Amino acid sequence: MVKPGDFYVSIVDLFAILLPGAVAAALLLAAVGNDIPGEIISLPDSTFGLWVAFIIAAYLIGHVIFLLGSFLDGRFESLRKWRLEQGAISAVDNDQLYFAVQILKNKIFDDELTPAPLNNFQWVKSVLVQEKPNAIAEVNRLEADSKFFRSLSVISFLSIFLIGFNTNDLIGIILIVITIMCFLRYYERRLKSNTLAYLHLLTFYRLNGLTNLQM
pLDDT tens profile 23-67: 988 888 777 665 555 545 666 677 787 788 888 888 899 999 999
Confidence of residue 213 (pLDDT cuts 50, 70, 90): very low
pLDDT higher than threshold 50 for residue 143: yes
pLDDT at 151: 93
The mean pLDDT of 72-97, rounded to a whole number, is: 69
Q: Which residue has the higher pLDDT, 173 or 40?
A: 173
The mean pLDDT of 165-178, rounded to a whole number, is: 84
The mean pLDDT of 119-124, rounded to a whole number, is: 86
Q: Which residue has the higher pLDDT, 48 or 8?
A: 48
pLDDT higher than threshold 90 for residue 149: yes
pLDDT higher than threshold 50 for residue 214: no
Q: Mean pLDDT for the chain?
A: 79
pLDDT at 13: 74
pLDDT at 106: 80
- Lowest pLDDT segment from 19-23, 91-95, 189-193: 91-95
Phi, psi of 115, deg, nearest 5: -65, 145
pLDDT higher than threshold 80 for residue 85: no
pLDDT at 132: 84
**Residue 204: which residues within 8 A CB-CB, separation 6 or more?**
127, 128, 131, 132, 135, 210
Q: 12-25 pLDDT, tens per residue? A: 677 788 889 999 88
Q: Which long-range contacts (CB under 8 A, 24 or more apart) does 61-64 make?
A: 61/21, 61/24, 61/25, 61/28, 62/16, 62/17, 62/18, 62/19, 62/20, 62/21, 62/22, 62/24, 62/151, 63/17, 63/21
Alpha carbons 3 and 186: distance in angstroms, whole number:
26
pLDDT higher than threshold 60 for residue 204: yes
Q: Which residue has the higher pLDDT, 84 or 191?
A: 191
Q: What percent of the chain has pLDDT over 70?
A: 74
pLDDT at 215: 44
pLDDT at 67: 92
